[in-house]
Structure 1
Amino acid sequence: MTIGVALNPTDPANQIDASVRLAKEAAAAGLCSAWFGQTFGADSPLLAAVVGREVPELHVGTSAVPVFGRHPLVLSSQAQTAQAATHGRYHLGLALGTKLLTEAGFGIPYTRPVARLREFLTALRQLTETGSADFHGELLTATTPLPARVPGAEAGVPLLVAAMGPKALRVSGELADGILPYIAGPRALADHIVPAVTAAAEAAGRPAPRIVALVNGIVTDDADAVRARLTDHLAFYEQIPSYARVIELSGGRRAADVAVVGDEKAVAEEIRRYRDAGATEVVFSATEVAGEAARRRTWQLLGELAG
């Protein structure tokens, strides 16, 4: 099981420079990968390409680009460019997105998200594997009157989905290379998420999917205070039905209940629980919430466990 971190520089003068600095620190600590979120700020595939080229010791990934407001042709170009820039170390994560951000931000209706995901993945797989597409779906069209291959990315791009619900897991098992569940504890992974996506992959004749568990976690001696900070930091996700459901399936009431918080021994034990639940990779997020000292302490432990 590999271990990585999500990079989120706090108040940088320049987000790109700060991300490169953090990535170098992650590599020095012995971590395997660095991941970047996507909202309305930095372009995460481009950021991953820059960081991956500057820090060749790390794999880099996007977690995750919403399928609403994007098009497979454009995202394929971005992903293939990142793959060529990193010489095969880029991993693209997709997400259904949320009704709140989709409708408020893009002014488009958040309708039939799973159907859109299926069509998006189908077209994107054609593009990243062959450099061309001739896809005419109900919701999307993607054709290539000109070549869409990026030299240097001929091996394709691993496609992952931030899927946790039954329908999204089925589509991901059939069409993606793995999943990126977030705020899903070991119980939800073992009992609901991993069996569903694995069964879908088997039925489609695909290899066993990667299970990249994104985990909010911090090493600290003051677990109560840090968990209180995380409660505020993660409260947004409790408004989103898919996250509320997976929090409950994990045995929690608040998003922070699913976070991994404690000393080195406690955090290491929780990471083993994720492995036992079926995670093939663990990526720690929100490590910066309790300050730089706690982040460095967390990364030190994660690097030791990765080694």
Structure 2
Amino acid sequence: MDIGVVLSGQNVTGDNYVDGVVALAREAEAAGVASGWFAQRLDYDAAALAAVIGHVVPRLALGTSAIPVFARHPVLVAGQALTAQAATRGRFQLGLALGAKPLVESAFRLPYERPVALLREFLTALRPLLSDGTVDFRGELLGAAPTLPVSLPGADPAPPVLVAAMGPQALRVTGELADGTLPFLAGPRALGEHVVPALTAAAEAAGRPAPRVVALVPAAVTAEVARVRDVATEELAFYESIPSYRRALDLSGADRAGELALVGDEETVAAGIRRYRNAGATEVVLTQTAMGGEAARRRTWRLAGELSGARV
């Protein structure tokens, strides 16, 4: 089972953010971690950062988790993804998301309307652009018909497209049109009873291959369990008021998001990862790994490297 880590966020130190992420990526690669992932923020571009890192760190797979489809166009996102795929020599994974209504409306001053319909049209236009370099699509919410090809030498194969989908409608679209999903704060129960069945059924109905399920899981290997659990509860509280995450937490049987963090020694965290695998996750990405401090983060990454590629 491939185990990845999130490279962005509080893990990064130094005067130059990109230099700091390069150092972290090299550390993750040396530890044997399978993949590094970048959240999309407002201060950096996740796909560009993946391209830069992948060009100088030769073995680590890179991905975005995840770029919101609001305020973006599939032609431009295709160009970003193909550039990253060429820079990483085929190790890039494009993660997309619907985004959260409060963030979309406050940051972009756009109405958060018909998100699932927008996701369907975005993916319908994007997939031919990535595979064929062209598309002629006219939907209700967007259109795409570039007059010049969107293909790029070296950007082979077409990068896989994953969607951070957890609700039933978004999972249906993801199963029909994407390569898999990137659920965050969907515990093993929600994953096994809701996310995986809905996604698999949609993919089968569309005649598509079995989808990937890349579960993002907060984790810290530490002896300071009570303290780090409190930190996790505080750090993750933001998500509890967002409806999609609130639903995932409820389906997971969790009142607080921090309850889903894997906190403890190596055996405890490895057992937690096994629960995600048994629930249907094909890969696990450990996030919030710095919540226990630098020593705990390094210990967590060592475990991720040891487990990556092994039968967890």
Normalised by the length of structure 1, the TM-score is 0.98
> Offset of 1:11 from its aligned partner?
4.3
**What is the aligned counterpart of 1:171 among 170, 173, 186?**
173
**Alpha-carbon distance in 1 for matches of 2:285, 2:183:** 10
Describe how 1:28-107 pairs up with structure 2 within 5 A. Answer: 28-107=30-109
Which residue of structure 2 aligns with residue 188 of structure 1?
190
**What is the aligned counterpart of 1:288 among 283, 290, 296?**
290
User: Which AA in structure 2 matches 1:98?
Assistant: A
CA contact (8 A) 1:122 1:175 kept: yes
Which residue of structure 2 aligns with residue 155 of structure 1?
157
Any runs of at least 4 consecutive aligned residues in structure 1 with deviations exceeding 4 A, and if so which? Answer: none
Which residue of structure 1 aligns with residue 219 of structure 2?
217
> Offset of 1:154 from its aligned partner?
3.9
Structure 2: runs of 5+ lacking an equivalent? none
SS of equivalent to 2:280: coil
1:255-286 deviations in whole A, cap 9, x for unaligned? 10111111111111111111111111000000
CA contact (8 A) 2:70 2:104 kept: yes
User: Which AA in structure 1 matches 2:250?
Assistant: E
CA contact (8 A) 2:90 2:156 kept: no
Which residue of structure 2 aligns with residue 121 of structure 1?
123
CA contact (8 A) 1:84 1:152 kept: yes
SS of equivalent to 1:57: coil
**Alpha-carbon distance in 1 for matches of 2:100, 2:273:** 28
**Alpha-carbon distance in 1 for matches of 2:85, 2:266:** 35
SS of equivalent to 1:41: coil
Which residue of structure 2 aligns with residue 263 of structure 1?
265
1:140-160 deviations in whole A, cap 9, x for unaligned? 011111111111114211000
CA contact (8 A) 2:212 2:282 kept: yes
> Offset of 1:234 from its aligned partner?
1.0
SS of equivalent to 1:234: helix
**Alpha-carbon distance in 2 for matches of 1:300, 1:102:** 36
User: Which AA in structure 2 matches 1:86?
Assistant: T
User: Which AA in structure 1 matches 2:242?
Assistant: I
SS of equivalent to 2:65: strand
RMSD: 0.9
> Offset of 1:251 from its aligned partner?
1.2
**Alpha-carbon distance in 1 for matches of 2:211, 2:37:** 19
Which residue of structure 1 aligns with residue 280 of structure 2?
278
User: Which AA in structure 2 matches 1:5?
Assistant: V
Which residue of structure 2 aligns with residue 4 of structure 1?
4
Which moves more between the two structures, 197-206 or 215-224? Answer: 215-224
Normalised by the length of structure 2, the TM-score is 0.97
Which moves more between the two structures, 239-248 or 149-158? Answer: 149-158
CA contact (8 A) 1:67 1:94 kept: yes
1:161-196 deviations in whole A, cap 9, x for unaligned? 000000000000000000000011111100000010
> Offset of 1:14 from its aligned partner?
1.1
User: Which AA in structure 2 matches 1:295?
Assistant: R
Alignment of 1:253 onto 2:283: no
CA contact (8 A) 2:89 2:156 kept: no
CA contact (8 A) 2:12 2:21 kept: no
User: Which AA in structure 1 matches 2:93?
Assistant: H
Alignment of 1:141 onto 2:122: no
Which residue of structure 1 aligns with residue 228 of structure 2?
226
User: Which AA in structure 2 matches 1:44?
Assistant: A
SS of equivalent to 2:66: strand
User: Which AA in structure 1 matches 2:6?
Assistant: A
Number of residues of Structure 1 aligned to a counterpart in Structure 2: 307
**Alpha-carbon distance in 2 for matches of 1:226, 1:211:** 27
**Alpha-carbon distance in 1 for matches of 2:285, 2:15:** 25
CA contact (8 A) 2:40 2:66 kept: yes
User: Which AA in structure 2 matches 1:302?
Assistant: A
CA contact (8 A) 2:5 2:37 kept: yes
**Alpha-carbon distance in 2 for matches of 1:19, 1:80:** 21
CA contact (8 A) 1:10 1:288 kept: no
